[in-house]
Amino acid sequence: MLYNILLFVHVISTVLLIVIVLLQTGKGSEVGFAFGAGAAQTMFGSSGGSTFIKKITITFAVLFMVTSILLAFIQAKSKAIPKSVMNDAKTEQTMPGTAPVTNNAQPIGQENKK
């Protein structure tokens, strides 16, 4: 239950961190200007909200790191055996009515050295 809640918070923080980083205005006002980050100058004053966006970025970055570490610890302490695709793979089977294939080949040069 705790693992699922942490995983949900982790995914949400990841998506929000990506969005917030894209909204930040760089030196050339790259992607952030396209999403309306230029309007932040009128809403947040002359600083343009850069300190506000930086604080939010730091908050979500810390949340992302903390949830990553907690999820790793929970997964490491889990006693469940990791499931692999190879666990479900069938072993080699022969067709009905045929003999199993055996490898009677000998190394080259060793055919009749008895």
CB-CB neighbours of 112 under 10 Å: 6
Q: What is the pLDDT of residue 59?
A: 94
Contact in structure between 70 and 4 (CB atoms under 8 Å): no
Residue 76 included in any domain: yes
Residue 41 included in any domain: yes
State the helix-helix crossing angle for 2-23 and 50-77, rounded to 10 degrees.
Answer: 150
Residue 94 included in any domain: no
Q: What is the pLDDT of residue 101?
A: 61
Q: What is the mean pLDDT of residues 46-52?
A: 66
1-15, 54-68, 85-99: segment of lowest average pLDDT: 85-99
pTM of the model: 0.54
Residue 14 included in any domain: yes
Question: 3-state class of 8 per DSSP?
Answer: helix
For residue 46, pLDDT over 60 is answered with: no
Residue 1 included in any domain: no
Residue 100 included in any domain: no
Residue 110 included in any domain: no
Domain housing 53: 7-80
Q: Give the total number of structural domains in the chain.
A: 1
